[in-house]
Amino acid sequence: MNLAVRCQNLVKVYDTGGQKVTALNGINLDIIAGQLMMLVGPSGCGKTTLISVIAGILDQDEGLCELFGENLLAMRSKDKLNFRAKNIGFVFQAFNLLPSLNAAENVSIPLIINGMKRAEAERKAITLLEQVGLGARWKSLPSQLSGGQQQRVAIARALVHNPRLIVCDEPTSALDHETGRNVMKLLKDVALHKDRTLVIVTHDARIFDFADRIAEMDDGHIVEVQDKREQG
């Protein structure tokens, strides 16, 4: 059983104007490669802080977080950027597409960051847009797409550079039930395979059935980890 992520005693404290807020209070969590892990829990329990640490965009104060065996905290800033650019894809609650770029240009961004020529990157982006059912809309600006279509563009952008980990923050909360399930189905069908791991932060109980494992958080702790496949 390969581990994609290993967190040991993670602690993160925010200083909010002199007041200390402990967002992560000794988190221990293993995420298995090739699985879809959901982090669930009430607002303010530390879910977003945890995926930020896992994705290497926030440094923990204490503890260890290894991503595919690499300790991101110990990496030089430049190496960490390169590691993130190659190995991690992001899907956001508010899609966060660049409004002045069309769908193909948005999807091509991770490839360009990784050094690919623009024309080649856009060709590859169009191919991926076809996979998520938006091949005909590659020229459309985000404002010309529905919420579900924008999220599919965001998924294509998270996948285009073939990362080993995709982190999703509330990917369905801005979508209606039907569209949300379609997005989850797409994520599971297109994004997930044995060499790629998905970590999804959500409080949308309607999509829990897509998870392989669910880690429930509360007050900066992991309260419980359920293996849905064993239950199934």
Q: What are phi and psi of 120, to 5 degrees?
A: -65, -40
User: Which one, of 51, 57, 53, 54, lies nearest residue 5 by Cα?
Assistant: 54
| DSSP one-letter code for 221 | E
Using rule CB under 8 A, residue 21 touches other proteins: no
Using rule CB under 8 A, residue 113 touches other proteins: yes
Q: Which is nearer to other proteins, 96 or 226 (CB)?
A: 96
Q: Which is nearer to other proteins, 170 or 212 (CB)?
A: 170
User: Which one, of 226, 207, 201, lies nearest residue 215 by Cα?
Assistant: 226
Using rule CB under 8 A, residue 58 touches other proteins: yes
Using rule CB under 8 A, residue 118 touches other proteins: yes
Q: Extract the tokens encoding 26.
A: 């000794």
- Provide CB contacts within 8 A for 67, sequence distance 6+: 4, 5, 54, 56, 83, 87, 165
* Distance of alpha carbon 71 from alpha carbon 121, whole angstroms: 30
* Distance of alpha carbon 71 from alpha carbon 80, whole angstroms: 10
Determine which residue in the list 96, 162, 182, 226 makes contact with other proteins, applying CB under 8 A.
96
Q: Which is nearer to other proteins, 64 or 109 (CB)?
A: 109
Contact string 127-146 vs other proteins (x = CB under 8 A): --------------------
Determine which residue in the list 3, 11, 85, 225 makes contact with other proteins, applying CB under 8 A.
85
Q: Which is nearer to other proteins, 85 or 226 (CB)?
A: 85
Binding site for other proteins (CB under 8 A): 48-49, 51-52, 55, 57-58, 78, 81-82, 84-86, 88, 90, 92-94, 96, 98-101, 105, 109-110, 112-114, 118, 169
